[in-house]
Amino acid sequence: MPDTQPLKSGDPRQLGDYTLSGRLGEGGQGVVFLGMRGEERYAIKLLHGPVGDEQAAFLREVELAKHVARFCTAQVADAGFDDGRPYIVSEFVDGPSLYREVALTGPKSGGALERLAVGTATALAAIHRAGIVHRDFKPQNVLLGPDGPRVIDFGLARVLDAAATQSGRGVGTPAYMAPEQITAALVTGAADVFSWGATMCFAANASAPFGQDSVAPVLHRILTAPPELGWLDGYLRDLVAACLDKDARNRPSSRDLLYALLGDSDGVPAEVLRSPPPHLLRLAAAPMAEPETTGAAPDVYHLPAASGPATVSQDTQDVRAHQRASAANRAGLAVSCALLVSAAVLVTLLVPAFRSGDGPAPQAAAQPSGSAPALLLPQLTEPSPSRERQESKVRGGATEPAPPPPRVEPVGVGVPSLVGLDRSAAVKALRRAGLSAGTLNEVDSRQRIGRVLASRPAAGALLAKGTEVDLDVSAGLAVPELKGLSRKAAELALARTGLATGVVSRACSAQPGGRVLSSSPAAGGRVAGGSAVALVVAQHGAEVPAVVGKGRESAVAGLKAAGFAVEQRVQIVTEPGEVDTVLAQSVPAGRCAQPGRTVVITVGVEGQTGPDPGEPEPDPTPTPS
């Protein structure tokens, strides 16, 4: 179960029908409480500020949120107001946020990263299908439950705007905001797709693609700089890059994103498909739809333009219009999809044959009634070997292959991918590439110390041989100053810094009980994000010295010097070495006790060897018989 903190003074104890038992967390939007109704647990978010005249709009959004599919989201159950401040009740998810999990355990990769991508993309598609734009998709809003990732905090778009106006807080987290959110342009579901791409970068690299330092530089990089994709590779890297396109029109919709992750790429931008497998040739057949401008998440499909001018016949336009008009009819849509797939296969087989001659390619003819519509496929940039053979020239009846294109040698040396490597490994990689390491900038980061965070120029840039490449290297996180804080405040300071609380031990001190006396590592020491910091906490009082086995006088002097009163008791002993030696003490050594407390010591004394002085001497006169 996520860490639950006690309620603070001023926190409500009841919200509607829900009894609050603790705090689950607090952020820029509001406080999340653990609530109970009967035996059921709920996560209840109470926003910081009122929403003014937007109460009715808030309740309408909550009703929409209740209809979002539950398989990858925390289901919205209820909502209400507390003195004008709105609260929303959601299903309780027993697990940490993606942000906390990555901070503690490091980046995700392989199957774990792919499962996370599919699960969150499914949730986003379900949210958009309900007509909702999340607008604050980020690692903190992805909870890793025992049954998979769950997306939370959707359905608050308009009410957050109103609450932000009232309280002066912003909506969205800068490191994961889309460019249109920064420029105050129309925000649609494409903004959530951008935030999804940034969140996947964080999951794979433990850092956002445009940095997560101060707000102004982050926003500037989002608007102008390419993303740092780090350890993302393969098809997922290309897909995330498409999601992070600065033009919202070029990003895939959430549904296309999910299809692409599942192996069906209809509607995914062509630049993602630099080397598309055969089943991705259906890209050109994806239907186009106009984006909605009502604030709800549109299902937008972007078809890359075919190279060169193209003529679309009237029959083709009629077919497309008919397809759009009958999109709601599932049976008709299934038939259309089957026709499109068949046509794509036919065109894939026939286009090379049409291009085998020297004459111009034939124009699309009008389609007879009942046949599949004509399709415009984007021209591939590099011909396949089979196409080269088909396009060979015929000279004197003999077929001669066309000469291969001239080889273009790259100008300069390419900067290798260095992000994620240790500093020494990055320096070696630069040397192998014919470059050298320039300035090494140490940057505060949750990454392990010495890990490369960025290179300037970035990977792929062409440089003259021997050019220096500057590196940003993780300096870890500095342990904050904890001495004098209460234990709770120290643990909170560590959590905010991205560190964990380690072993907590106690030591006697004149400081109030519960105050931190020291930490290990000490304040200012640098460690990787998620590292445990041990604490020594004060226990008010003085430490009782160990006096057992010492002589009586030495024991009495030691206890009085520590600030304690002494009471002595005696015990007859038979061993000469125990005489005038402390046999026991009433307060154990090492325990903290209040100054002035009486410590009773037991001292050994020698037993009597003659008759007891109180008894009469025996009469030596013999008794007559």
| Amino acid found at 422 | D
Sheet containing 565-573: order of strands: 565-573, 598-606, 582-585
- Residue found under tokens 């999601």: 243
Q: Which of 136, 192, 238, 299 is catalytic?
A: 136
Does the annotation mark 136 as catalytic? yes
- Token duo for residue 21: 């038992």
Cis peptide leading into residue 457 (ω within 30°):
yes
| Amino acid found at 619 | D
- Residue found under tokens 């001018």: 309
CA 297 – CA 127 distance, rounded (Å): 8
| Helix/strand/coil for 531 | coil
CA 473 – CA 461 distance, rounded (Å): 19
Under a CB-based contact definition with an 8 Å cutoff, are residues 120 and 71 in contact? no
Give bridge partners of residue 290 from the DSSP assignment. Answer: none
- Token duo for residue 12: 């409500």
Cis peptide leading into residue 521 (ω within 30°):
yes
**How many CB atoms within 10 Å of residue 184?**
7
For helices 234-243 and 189-205, the axis angle rounded to 10 degrees is 140
CA 546 – CA 460 distance, rounded (Å): 69
CA 264 – CA 281 distance, rounded (Å): 10
CA 414 – CA 95 distance, rounded (Å): 43
Residue 402 CA: distances (Å) to CA of 164, 251, 385, 388: 65, 38, 11, 7
- Token duo for residue 474: 């993780």
Strands (E), 327-476: 393-395, 398-400, 413-414, 436-443, 452-456, 462-463, 468-474
Residue 182 belongs to what H/E stretch?
helix 179-182
CA 269 – CA 128 distance, rounded (Å): 20
- Token duo for residue 181: 């959110």
- Residue found under tokens 């709770």: 488
Residue 18 belongs to what H/E stretch?
strand 18-26
- Token duo for residue 607: 């037993």
| Amino acid found at 485 | L
| Catalytic center residues | 136
